Amino acid sequence: MTKNSKTGSRKWTLLIAGISIIMSTNSGFVNVPAASHQGDAVVKLIILDPGHGHATFMQSSMNQAIDPKVHVYAPAGPDVQQYMNSIERANTRKINPTNWKLVVYTGSDYLEKMLADKKGNAVLISGNNSKKSGYITRSIEGGFHVIADKPMAITDFRSLEKSFQTAARKKLVLFDPMDLRYDISNILQKELAQIPELFGSLQKGNLENPALVQANLHHYLKGPAGQTGIRPGWFFDVDQQGHGIVDVSTHLVDLNQWLSFPDKSLNYRTDVKVISSREWPSKLTPSEFKLVTKLDQYPDYLKKDLKDSILSVYSNGEMNYTLKGIHSKVTVLWNYREPPGSSDTHYSLMRGTKADLEIRQDAAEKYRATLFVKPQPGADIPLFEKQIHAAQQKLQDKYPGTEFIKNGDQWEVKPGKFQRTNSSEVAIAYIKSGKMPEWEAPNMIAKYYTTIEALKIAKE
């Protein structure tokens, strides 16, 4: 480490397991020699204040479309260090190692420095959710494409809506990756919902029996003790992470929209009506909190949520709303610890006039998301079986080997060959073209209107 006696700045070069890093704690930024840019790289990536594992999602493997030299701007501390450690592990793994070259700036003016340096064309934001609205606004105004991990906003809907308007005017991409869209069970559910001979049309449903149902169960502690990913203390502060009803629920609201109205734009002012919502806390003991965060005591910002040393986190929520008149329900649950042999689970239901399409992921399915087709009561079963066969034949072109296996009064759908797309590839494609499908932005706006409006009602 060297110190400049005139400016007092500290700059140091790190070579950590194959990661070339130049770091600085003030505006005296130092460049590393540029890695050879891949000829068709269209994304020059900037990582802004990483604080969540999703900050690495575009770097899980090398991609010719992404320049291997990645600039990182963040305040010094454990969050950016955890990100750097993740890249180090990827660069040094034995199977398919990556070759990312990080240029890291950790001065207190990291945001202003990023905007002034303009070292890339796309900013990835994944961290403390209370900062995201400001980061998105400044990045879009600065002329950068923005890939923002969910949730883009936890309270400030109007700021996000304005950012989308600015992005459209500047012809910039503002996108939140939704990985559940690329799971084969969800893809096949969407495909079958578009076959009227089998599914019919989407029912309207009612408050007691909604036609669209999405539910997730998550766990704070995953895997054997000591092997789980460390969660920052602020993850348990709803003022920083967000209430559960505006956090992971974004995936579920997105699925209801994506499954039911594919390629169609939604207008939150006319197409969404939140009827009711509620929330309730998960509770952690001091020892549980320490095990998942590695912190010896609760940070001061969590004291407001403590009673007799028990931490209450409002991570559970339920919302009932209509989407173009279709009654919809979303539920998010968080338990402390993942039971041995289990996992996070996802449930999805689409009620059609001819059949229900249901995804289950419980012990009976060995915790694998599995799609089932069940005819409505009174269906002509011989005719329905013919439609099942026709649907299976129709899916062969896209997913060879897909099978429908009868089990009692329902059919299990076993996926065939499938080339998975991921949200990183989608984000790259959007940036490469400089635009998104016409429905993408209005539907993101509708999604965040739904979650933030639900939170308002729950808090009332």
pLDDT tens for 417-453 read 887 888 899 999 999 999 999 999 999 999 999 999 9
d(CA 256, CA 28): 48
Is it the case that residue 11 has pLDDT exceeding 60? no
Q: How confident is the model at residue 374 (pLDDT cuts 50, 70, 90)?
A: very high
Domain definitions of the chain by residue range: 2-127, 180-459
| Mean pLDDT comparison of 13-22, 89-98, 418-427, highest-scoring range | 89-98
Q: Tell me the mean pLDDT in the region 5-23.
A: 42
Whether the Cβ atoms of residue 36 and residue 27 lie closer than 8 Å to each other: no
For the record, the structure tokens of 433 come out as: 């073209």
Kind and range of the H or E run holding 12: strand 10-16
- Would the pLDDT of 92 be above 60? yes
Q: How confident is the model over 252-269, as a mean pLDDT?
A: 98
The residue type found at 89 is: R
Assess whether pLDDT exceeds 80 at residue 351: yes
Please state the pTM of the whole predicted model. 0.90
The confidence score (pLDDT) of residue 24 equals: 52
For the record, the structure tokens of 120 come out as 């890339």
- DSSP state string for 38-87: PTT--B-EEEES--SGGGGGGGSS--TTB-SEEEEE--SSHHHHHHHHHH
The contacts of residue 344 (CB under 8 Å, 6+ apart) are: 216, 217, 218, 219, 222, 338
- CA distances, 412 to each of 256, 264, 404, 405 (Å): 21, 29, 6, 5
Give the model's pLDDT for residue 340: 84
pLDDT at 324 exceeding the cut of 90: yes
pLDDT over 90 percentage in the chain: 83
**Quick check: helix, strand or coil at residue 440?**
helix
Write down the pLDDT at residue 228: 60
H-run or E-run covering 26: none
Q: How confident is the model at residue 329 (pLDDT cuts 50, 70, 90)?
A: very high
Give CATH superfamily name and number for 180-459: Dihydrodipicolinate Reductase; domain 2 (3.30.360.10)
Minimal CA–CA distance to 350: which of 231, 206, 193, 217? 193
Residue 79 near residue 232 (C-beta atoms within 8 A) = yes
Element (H, E) at 449: helix 440-459
Q: Angle 110-117/132-141 helices, nearest 10 degrees?
A: 20
CB 68 within 8 A of CB 38: yes
CA 53 to chain centre: 11
Answer yes or no: are the C-beta atoms of 68 and 35 closer than 8 Å. Answer: yes
pLDDT at 116 over 80: yes
Banded model confidence at residue 3, pLDDT cuts 50, 70, 90? very low
Query: DSSP of 240-280, one letter per residue?
Result: TT--GGGTTHHHHHHHHHHHHSTT----HHHHEEEEEEEEE
Q: How sure is the predictor about 225, in pLDDT bands with cuts at 50, 70 and 90?
A: low
With beta carbons less than 8 A apart as the criterion, state whether 173 and 430 touch: yes
Which CATH code for domain 2-127?
3.40.50.720
- DSSP secondary structure letter of residue 143: T
The whole-number pLDDT of residue 35 equals: 35
Confidence bin at 222 (pLDDT 50/70/90) = confident
CA 144, distance to chain mean position in Å, is: 20
Which range scores top for mean pLDDT: 16-25, 31-40, 235-244? 235-244
Give me the pLDDT at residue 224, please: 64
Instruction: Answer whether residue 199 shows pLDDT above 50.
Output: yes
Residue showing tokens 């499908």: 437
Residue 10 pLDDT greater than 80, yes or no: no
Which residue did the predictor score with more confidence, 13 or 159? 159
Report the length, in residues, of the chain. Answer: 460
Q: How confident is the model at residue 389 (pLDDT cuts 50, 70, 90)?
A: very high
Exposed, middle or buried by CB within 10 Å (0-12, 13-18, 19+), for 237? Answer: buried
- DSSP structure string for 147-175: EEPSPS-SS-HHHHHHHHHHHHHHT--EE
Residue 20 scores a pLDDT above 70? no
Q: What is the pLDDT of residues 226-246, one digit of tens each?
A: 456 789 999 999 999 999 999
Q: What is the DSSP string of 279-340?
A: EEEEEE-HHHHHHHH--SS--GGGGGGEETTEEEEEEEEEEEEEETTEEEEEEEEEEEEPPT
Q: How high does pLDDT run on average in the chain?
A: 91
- Residue 21's pLDDT is what? 52
Range name among 35-44, 93-102, 108-117 with the lowest pLDDT average: 35-44
CA distances from 136 to 51, 107, 111, 130, 146 (A): 15, 20, 11, 11, 7
